[in-house]
Amino acid sequence: MFRDAAVESDQAGDRELVERFLATREEAAFRVLYRDHTPYLWALAVRLCRDTNAEAEEVVQEAWVRGIRLLPRFAWGSALRTWLAGILINCWRELRRSSRHWTVDMGTLDVEPKIDPGEGSVDLERALAALSDEHRSVLLLYDREGYSHEEIGALLGIPAGTSKSRLFNARRTLRERLGVSYERER
């Protein structure tokens, strides 16, 4: 219940900032939106890009460029963060398909990826990076970000059943690479 109230409050704040930015192109409103959403986008991009910071920077930058351009058409059918994540995923997919990278002067982001320094985290990060793009994206969106299979399907342009299958295969591959055995529950 508290989480739902916090999400609604965040969405109301985002809506107010977006309306203010669109009406006046006020830089302060954009800076707040950027500050609030970039850490999430950055963490997602770093994992999607297999911890390649240069690619992650390109993807985050391009997602913001496109997001601002498309913002007047955003219909609030989802949270702003979810919508931006969808744009980021599309940018990442395009980058992976293309043989060239976008040429954008990034400067420096004041956000660092959050990787837990606990025991085994390096092995897990390596195992995640070794997954195929399709498997890694579904695993991260479902297990780490908490999206449903229907939401993942909408973000990635795949059926929910494909999301479920990719998640199953990604988890199986991770267990194999990490040497984790398991027994199925009956």
Per-residue tens of pLDDT for the chain, all 186 residues:
334 444 455 778 999 999 999 999 999 999 999 999 999 999 999 988 886 788 999 999 999 999 999 999 999 988 999 999 999 999 998 888 774 444 333 333 333 333 344 445 567 778 888 888 889 889 988 888 888 899 898 888 899 999 999 999 998 888 888 877 554 443
Range of the domain at 159: 115-178
Which phi-psi region, left, alpha or beta, contains residue 13 (left: φ > 0; alpha: ψ -120 to 50)?
Answer: alpha
125 with 106, same domain? no
SS3 assignment, position 179:
coil
What residues have CB less than 8 Å from 50, skipping those under 6 apart? 128, 129, 136
User: How many whole angstroms separate alpha carbon 80 and alpha carbon 75?
Assistant: 10
CB atoms within 10 A of CB 31: 12
Same domain, 26 and 108: yes
Q: How far is CA 32 from CA 20, 77, 118, 126, in A?
A: 11, 21, 32, 33
Shared-domain flag, residues 46 and 16 = yes
Residue 102 lies inside a defined structural domain of this protein: yes
Q: How many domains in the chain? A: 2
DSSP string, 25-58: --HHHHHHHHHHHHHHHHHHHHHHTTT-HHHHHH
Residue 84 and residue 50 in one domain? yes
Q: State which of 112, 146, 167 marks the end of a domain.
A: 112
Indicate which CATH number applies to the domain containing 99: 1.10.1740.10
Residues 87 and 141 in one domain: no
Q: Report if residue 99 sits inside a domain.
A: yes
Residue 107 in 3-state DSSP? coil
Instruction: Kindly state whether residues 119 and 62 are assigned to the same domain.
Output: no
Query: Residue 171 is part of a domain; what is its CATH number?
Result: 1.10.10.10
pTM over 0.75: no
Residues 95 and 137 both lie in one domain: no
Assess whether 8 and 99 both reside in one domain. yes
Residue 184 within any structural domain of the chain: no
